[in-house]
Chain A
Amino acid sequence: MGVRGIGSSLEEAFEEAAIALTAVITDPGSVDAGEMVEVECEAPDEEILLAEWLNALIYEMATRGMLWGRFEVKVEGLKLHGRAWGEKVDIEKHQPAVEVKGATYTQLRVKKEDGHWIAQCVVDV
């Protein structure tokens, strides 16, 4: 399953890609943004940084039993500081379709095109 974020900045594209990640599992609009988690990632380039960001969210989802609905990303150089807000998985409410296993490097692209940033990759479900 592919996820793609489009934004006016790299950060916004990363935030949108994270919403797409949640949409693979459930309707992001159904997730209350009650609890917050912070993640830090680092990578040798922007594309791997995207994969690291999504993988950090997948890890926090899996170990905390949470879903994320709102995101905030700050990137300085190749360091990312991210925040995600969400709530515990409620199967009746969220009807989660699949668990995401991880972000892959397939179709992994982070680029600026016609004034917009695009951040995308295939995630394994």
Chain B
Amino acid sequence: MEREGLKRLSDYAWRIERRGAMRVPAVIYADEGLIRDMDSKVSEQICNVAGLPGIVQAAYAMPDAHWGYGFPIGGVAAFDPEQGGVVSAGGVGFDISCGVRTLLTGLKREDVEEVKSRLADRLQRTIPAGVGSTGRLHLNRREMDDMLHGGAQWAVERGYGTQEDLVRTEERGRMAGADAGQVSEKAKKRQLNQVGTLGSGNHYLEVQHVTALYDRETASVFGLKEGDVVVSIHCGSRGLGHQIGTDFLKEMVVKAASHGISLPDRELACAPINSPVGRSYLGAMRAGINCALANRQVLSHLTREVFAQVLPGAELSLLYDVSHNTCKEEEHAVDGHPRLLFVHRKGATRAYGPGHPDIPEELRGVGQPVLIGGTMGTASYVLAGSRESEELAFSSACHGAGRAMSRHKATRRWRGGQVVEELAGKGILIRSRSMRGIAEEAPGAYKDVSAVVEATERAGLARKVARLEPMICVKG
């Protein structure tokens, strides 16, 4: 990205002043290197977002930002319904509530090394992954609606997990305000056999070990020690969420003019929060969040089954579950006054600081766990939300490494078999049936996750707690 038009606020924050149709400024959090390598489309897109009706304070881009559709991935924007604020299907993304959960296992690396290959094989056999895969659960219409209203709570009530899991999930495992009646038949049909499936692309299940601690006190509250083994699951709302995105993108484009909204580009499709389309989307999108929460909950259960077979005695407890692609109604202080805002985070993580009432009580003193997924060859990170993040970006942080190279380019540079072999040499077992998928997901196709996390911490958005490195990675 060109530095022209960017005003340096600090070594980790850059501002684009209001110009043209922008209603508020745009702020990008990144160090010089990340800014230099960032897609120039990020600044174009974040400025477009800054021009949407009812936007409050500024439009923000996180250090892992890259070109998305409408909103950049890594974009955060809050809207006030009382000032004509909008909700945008593109601002949430197609994979509604895609997110990460991390489970503690109580095991040490050496416990798993002994059975690593068997564990990897069993996980691959048990976790439905990849194009066309179906889950163990096949829902009828009533069960589908119950799942869309109940989220992870629905899954736990059916025996897929524990009450403790719900305490450690955003929204306590159930997004309020969901309306299955706003979800199309098509969306429900896409989900019938997909509950408890991982998906494909950048989604994964990883067995990881803790290789570094940066904040021992917080790590201890999170239950993380060096050498500990954890399991992280990255996936979202599957076909249901994708279809909700598809349905409402069109509806919002077609009805934009009737809402008096002129879009600089149709990809910015949105509707006033206080409009029938806006309310309908919010009801459907929240049902999509519940679908993702239920999905990750069922996958956790399957993971526990595998561990019980291979490493009997291991107890998998949930550290936390975060969602990346959401629009949530939250209270935030703007110019010192609390306001109810609709915060879009697209490829960005909510990151509440210490003391926030929505953080589970036993973690509240140190801040919300922020789980950052890396690549299958590098590392993932656990961060903790900071108090400053509230003022900096409505309590938000980055979500992952962010792609640096297109999928097409990646397949020309790497072969899947070669990636699997190289990673095996580093002690990382990859289990996937699609070698092309592996080539597209090669670690080299992503930004340096450590640089992203470093910039996130230095900008004050969240603080580093622990580094996790993969031992096993199951992909679609």
- Chain A residues proximal to chain B, CB less than 8 Å: 1, 24-26, 44, 47-48, 51-52, 55, 58-59, 62-63, 65, 88-89, 91-92, 94-99, 101-106, 108, 122, 124-125
A101 lies within 8 A of B408 (CB):
no
Known: A99-B131, A99-B199, A106-B267. A55 touches B246 (CB 8 A): yes
- Whether a CB of chain A sits under 8 angstroms from the CB of B148 is no
B434 lies within 8 A of A103 (CB):
no
A98 lies within 8 A of B250 (CB):
no
Cβ contacts A to B, 18 pairs, < 8 Å: A1-B406, A24-B407, A48-B250, A48-B253, A62-B242, A91-B132, A96-B132, A96-B437, A98-B407, A101-B246, A102-B246, A104-B267, A105-B69, A105-B265, A105-B267, A124-B93, A124-B94, A124-B95
Complexed CA–CA distance, A48 and B68 (Å)? 19
Which residues of B, 204-263, contact A by the 8 Å Cβ criterion?
A: 239, 241-243, 245-246, 249-250, 253-254
Residue of A whose beta carbon sits closest to that of B440: A97
B69 lies within 8 A of A106 (CB):
yes
By a CB distance below 8 angstroms, the chain A residues around B241 are 101
Q: Which of B200, B246, B249, B269 has the most CB of A within 10 A?
A: B246
B437 lies within 8 A of A97 (CB):
yes
B437 lies within 8 A of A52 (CB):
no
Complexed CA–CA distance, A88 and B250 (Å)? 29
Given contacts A97-B411, A104-B267, A106-B70, 15 further A-B contacts (CB under 8 A): A47-B266, A58-B246, A89-B132, A94-B131, A95-B433, A95-B435, A97-B439, A101-B241, A101-B245, A103-B246, A104-B69, A105-B90, A105-B269, A106-B267, A124-B245
In-complex Cβ contact of A59 among B70, B186, B245 (8 A): B186
A92 lies within 8 A of B433 (CB):
yes
- Whether a CB of chain A sits under 8 angstroms from the CB of B436 is yes
By a CB distance below 8 angstroms, the chain A residues around B189 are 63
In-complex Cβ contact of B249 among A98, A99, A104 (8 A): A104
Q: Which of B95, B265, B266 has the most CB of A within 10 A?
A: B266
By a CB distance below 8 angstroms, the chain A residues around B434 are 91, 95-97
Interface of chain B, main secondary structure: helix
By a CB distance below 8 angstroms, the chain A residues around B354 are none
Complexed CA–CA distance, A92 and B131 (Å)? 11
Would you give the 0/1 interface string for B425-458, flagging 1 where the beta carbon is closer than 8 Å to chain A? 0000000011111011000000000000000000
Would you give the 0/1 interface string for B269-285, flagging 1 where the beta carbon is closer than 8 Å to chain A? 10000000000000000
Complexed CA–CA distance, A92 and B239 (Å)? 22
- Whether a CB of chain A sits under 8 angstroms from the CB of B91 is no
Task: Sort A-B residue pairs by CB-CB distance and give the 9 closest, nearest first.
Answer: A89-B132, A106-B69, A96-B131, A101-B242, A104-B69, A102-B246, A101-B94, A105-B266, A98-B201
B186 lies within 8 A of A91 (CB):
no
Which residues of B, 30-80, contact A by the 8 Å Cβ criterion?
A: 68-70
A91 lies within 8 A of B267 (CB):
no
By a CB distance below 8 angstroms, the chain B residues around A91 are 130-132, 433-434
- Whether a CB of chain A sits under 8 angstroms from the CB of B413 is no
Residue of A whose beta carbon sits closest to that of B98: A101
By a CB distance below 8 angstroms, the chain A residues around B90 are 104-105
By a CB distance below 8 angstroms, the chain A residues around B242 are 58, 62, 101-102, 124
B433 lies within 8 A of A122 (CB):
no
Q: Which of A24, A44, A102, A103 has the most CB of B within 10 A?
A: A102
B52: min CB distance to chain A, Å:
15
Known: A1-B408, A63-B189. A108 touches B267 (CB 8 A): yes
By a CB distance below 8 angstroms, the chain B residues around A58 are 242, 246
B125: min CB distance to chain A, Å:
14
- Whether a CB of chain A sits under 8 angstroms from the CB of B141 is no
Complexed CA–CA distance, A104 and B265 (Å)? 12
Residue of A whose beta carbon sits closest to that of B129: A91
Complexed CA–CA distance, A99 and B203 (Å)? 11
Q: Which of B93, B239, B254, B440 has the most CB of A within 10 A?
A: B239
Complexed CA–CA distance, A32 and B94 (Å)? 29
Complexed CA–CA distance, A89 and B200 (Å)? 14
B69 lies within 8 A of A124 (CB):
yes
A98 lies within 8 A of B254 (CB):
no
Known: A51-B250, A105-B69. A98 touches B131 (CB 8 A): yes
- Whether a CB of chain A sits under 8 angstroms from the CB of B190 is yes
Complexed CA–CA distance, A43 and B476 (Å)? 34
B407 lies within 8 A of A1 (CB):
yes
Known: A62-B190, A65-B132, A97-B436. A125 touches B245 (CB 8 A): no
Complexed CA–CA distance, A59 and B190 (Å)? 7
